[in-house]
DNA sequence: TTTTTTCTAATGGTTTACCATGATTTTTAG
DNA sequence: CTAAAAATCATGGTAAACCATTAGAAAAAA
C-alpha cells in the first residue's frame, strides 16, 4: 500500500480529493493537511511514500515545499496537483525536483497512473504539461519565450520592482542614487528582454511572477 | 432526493466533488460537467434542483452562467463553490442572483448545510463571505472606498481593460471609434477614481479585480 | 588575464501620457 | 419632462516615457 498525504488549502477540495484517493487500489491516505507548513511536523511521526500537493498555497507554495522536502526527506516523492498550466510554473516545479506534475483538469485514471509510475521510481507529467513545455521551449533550444526572471540582472529586477510600484524614472534614479539616463537604459533593456511595449507590460510581468503585490 | 449537477472545469476536482456529494444523504448527483456551456443542453432533457458550479471557468463564468439560468430556468437553484473571496466577485455573484456562495476552503459539513438551506428556499453564504462584505461595505451604508469597480462606468471599464492590455491611447481611440481626446479624458477620470498616478496603477487595479489576465 | 556581462551615463529626438478646463450631446433616472 | 450622469471632443501645455546609439568603468566569468 502506498502511503499518501494530501495537501490543499481548500478544505472542500481536500476532503473530496481524499475520497478520490481512498477509492484507489493500493493507496492509503494517511493524512490530509490544509496548510503545507504542517507537513514537516507530520513527517516527524509518520512514514509517508508520496505527497500530493497543490501548488498555489498561502505561506508555503508547493514549489517551496518541494525544495524544503528534497533536502530533509530525499526519499519522499512529491506530486504536484495544480491548475497552473503555464510554462513558468512548470519549469519552476521541475527545477525544484518534483516527481510528478498533474493538472487538476486531468482524469482520475491519469492521477492513478501518475501515482503508480512515481512509486516505481519514474516521473510523471500530464501530457498538456509536456505540450506546454514544447510550445514554449527553454532557450537552450529556442530563443522564444525567455522564462526571463533568470535572465534579468539584479539591478534590472530592482528597477522592475520600482517601476511596478509606480515610481517614475526620476524617482527611481533618486532612490538608487544613479542618473535618470541609467534608469532609462535599464527600462529599455527590460522591455526588450520581456518583449513588452510599455511599463504596463513590465508591471504585468512583475505581478504575474510575484515580484510585487 | 435533491437532484444536483456539478460544474467545474477541472476534471479531478469535478470527480472528487462528485464523490463528496454522493456521500451526502438526500443528494443525488445526476450530472457532472466540465464545461459550463454544456449545461443548457443538459437541462433540456433533465430536471435538476440545484447547480453547484465553480466561478472561474473558461468560456462561461459562474456569474455569466447564473445570469443566463435565472432567465431561462427561474426555479433552478445555483450554488457557487469557489475560491474567490474578494468582495468584488461576491457582489457580482449576489447581483447575478446566486442562491449560495460557498468557499472551497469550507468543510463538507458546511457544504451540506448550504445545499439543505438552499433547498428550503433560503440563501446561504459562507461566513467569510459575509465578513468580507462587511469589511468592504457597499456605499449604501458607507461612502468609504470610491475606488471600487461599481463606480466605474461601462465605458471606463472598457478603456481600463484596453489600457491594461497595453493599448496606447491612440490605439484605443481607433478601436472604439472615438477621438484621442475622449480617451484621454476617460483615462484621467479613471486615475482620479482609482486614486492612482499612472497607467500602471490602473493596470494593477484591473489585474487585481480580474478584469484582465 | 582576457573576455563578457553588468552597470553606468550621455545625447538628441519622438511619442505618449498626464493635467486643467470648458463645452456639447446623448443617455439615464427621478 | 427635467435634472443628473455619462460620453463625447477640443485646446494647449508640461512632464514623462520611449527609442537608438554610443561608450566608459566595474564586476564576474572564462
DSSP A133-185: HHHS--TTT-SSS--GGGGS-HHHHHHHHHHHTT--HHHHHHHHTS-HHHHHH
The CATH number assigned to the domain with range B2-135 reads: 3.40.50.2300
- Please give the pLDDT value at position A140: 33
Q: Can you give the pLDDT at residue A138?
A: 43
pLDDT attached to residue B195: 84
- Contact of A204 with chain B, judged by CB distance below 8 Å, is answered with yes
CA-based nearest residue to A149, from A157, A141, A158, A161: A157
Dihedral of alpha carbons A76, A77, A80, A86, sign: positive
Determine whether the distance from the CB of B156 to the nearest atom of strand D is below 7 Å. yes
DSSP string, B133-201: HHHS--TTT------SGGGS-HHHHHHHHHHHTT--HHHHHHHHT--HHHHHHHHHHHHHHHT-SSHHH
Residues of B in contact with A196 (CB under 8 A): 166
Does the pTM of the predicted model rise above 0.75? no
- The reported pLDDT for the residue numbered A139 is 37
Across the interface, whether the CB atoms of A201 and B9 are under 8 A apart is answered no
Tell me: pLDDT of B79 over 80. Answer: yes
CA of B149 to C1' of C25 (A): 26
Alpha helices in A1-107 (DSSP H): 11-22, 39-45, 62-72, 87-96
Predicted confidence at residue A71, as pLDDT, reads: 65
Q: Which nucleotides of C are covered by protein (CB under 7 A)?
A: 5-12, 16-23
Q: Where are the domains of chain A?
A: 2-135, 141-208
Asked if residue B142 has pLDDT above 60, the reply is: no
Q: Which of residues 5-34 of B touch A (CB under 8 A)?
A: 9-13, 15-17, 19-20, 23, 34
Structure-model confidence comparison of residues B70 and A57, the more confident one? A57
Residues of chain A contacting residue B172, judged by C-beta atoms under 8 Å apart: none
Percent of residues, chain B, with pLDDT higher than 90: 28
Q: Do A201 and B166 touch (CB under 8 A)?
A: yes
- In chain A, what percentage of residues exceed pLDDT 90? 28
pLDDT tens column, B113-127: 999 988 888 888 888
Q: How much is the average pLDDT of B152-180?
A: 88
Evaluate if residue A145 carries a pLDDT over 50. no
- Strongest mean pLDDT among A206-210, B48-52, B152-156, B195-199: B48-52
Place of cell 508555503: A60
Q: Please give the grid coordinates belonging to residue B97.
A: 442572483
- A203 and chain B: CB distance < 8 Å anywhere? yes
User: Given CB atoms, is B166 within the 8 Å cutoff of chain A?
Assistant: yes
Is B32 a residue whose pLDDT tops 90? yes
Question: How many angstroms away from the CA of B142 is the closest CA of chain A?
Answer: 27
Q: Is B172 left (phi over 0), alpha (psi -120 to 50) or beta?
A: alpha
Calpha distance A69→A98 (Å, rounded):
10
Residue range B141-208 forms a domain whose CATH class is: mainly alpha
Q: For residue B36, what are the contacts with CB-CB under 8 A and spacing of at least 6? A: B7, B9, B53, B57, B59, B60, B61, B62, B65
**A115 near B CB under 8 A:** no
Residue B28 — very low, low, confident or very high, per pLDDT cuts 50/70/90?
very high
Query: Closest-CA residue in chain A for B109?
Result: A12
Mean pLDDT of A165-173: 90
Could you give the count of Cα atoms lying within 13 Å of A146 in the half-sphere of its Cβ?
13
Average pLDDT of the residues of chain B: 82
Please state the φ and ψ torsions of residue A88, each to the nearest 5 degrees.
-60, -50
Residue A177: which region, alpha, beta or left (left: phi > 0; alpha: psi -120 to 50)? left
Average pLDDT over residues B38-60: 86
A180-194 vs A199-208: helix crossing angle, rounded to 10? 70
Between the alpha carbon of residue B113 and those of residues B4, B13, B27, the distances in Å are 14, 20, 12
Please determine, for residue A202, whether its predicted confidence score (pLDDT) is greater than 60. Answer: yes
Least confident of A58-67, A189-198, B113-122, B168-177: A58-67
Q: How many C-beta atoms lie closer than 10 Å to residue A80's C-beta?
A: 28
Give the Cα separation of A63 and A96 in Å (integer).
Answer: 6
Q: A52 forms bridges with which residues in the sheet?
A: A6, A79
What pLDDT, on a 0 to 100 scale, did the predictor assign at position B140? 33
Lowest mean per-residue pLDDT among A120-129, B4-13, B108-117, B195-204: A120-129
Question: Cα separations (Å) of A176 from A156, A170, A180?
Answer: 12, 10, 10
pLDDT in tens, B89-117: 787 787 777 888 999 888 889 999 999 98
Encode pLDDT of A49-88 as tens digits.
999 999 888 777 788 788 777 767 878 899 999 888 877 6
pLDDT tier, B40 (very low <50, low <70, confident <90, very high otherwise): confident
At residue A53, φ and ψ (nearest 5 deg) are -130, 150
> Band of the pLDDT at A155, cuts 50, 70, 90?
confident
Residues of B in contact with A103 (CB under 8 A): 10, 12
B166 closest CB neighbour out of A11, A17, A196: A196
The pLDDT mean for chain A works out to: 83
Amino acid at each position: 500500500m502506498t502511503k499518501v498525504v494530501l495537501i490543499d488549502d481548500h478544505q472542500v477540495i481536500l476532503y473530496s480529493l481524499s475520497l478520490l484517493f481512498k477509492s484507489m487500489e493500493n493507496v492509503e491516505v494517511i493524512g490530509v493537511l490544509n496548510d503545507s507548513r504542517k507537513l514537516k511536523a507530520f513527517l516527524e511521526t509518520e512514514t509517508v511514500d508520496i505527497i500530493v500537493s497543490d501548488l498555489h498555497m498561502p505561506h508555503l507554495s508547493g514549489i517551496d515545499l518541494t525544495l524544503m522536502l528534497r533536502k530533509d526527506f530525499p526519499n519522499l516523492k512529491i506530486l504536484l496537483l495544480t491548475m497552473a498550466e503555464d510554462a513558468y510554473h512548470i519549469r519552476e516545479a521541475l527545477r525544484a525536483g518534483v516527481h510528478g506534475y498533474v493538472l487538476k483538469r486531468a482524469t482520475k485514471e491519469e492521477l492513478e497512473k501518475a501515482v503508480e509510475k512515481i512509486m516505481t521510481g519514474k516521473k510523471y507529467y500530464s501530457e498538456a504539461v509536456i505540450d506546454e513545455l514544447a510550445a514554449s521551449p527553454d532557450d537552450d533550444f529556442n530563443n522564444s519565450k525567455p522564462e526571463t526572471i533568470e535572465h534579468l540582472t539584479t539591478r534590472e529586477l530592482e528597477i522592475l520592482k520600482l517601476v511596478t510600484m509606480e515610481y517614475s524614472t526620476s524617482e527611481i534614479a533618486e532612490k538608487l542614487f544613479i542618473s535618470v539616463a541609467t534608469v532609462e537604459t535599464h527600462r529599455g533593456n527590460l522591455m526588450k528582454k520581456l518583449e513588452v511595449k510599455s511599463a504596463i507590460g513590465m508591471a504585468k510581468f512583475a505581478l504575474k511572477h510575484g515580484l510585487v503585490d
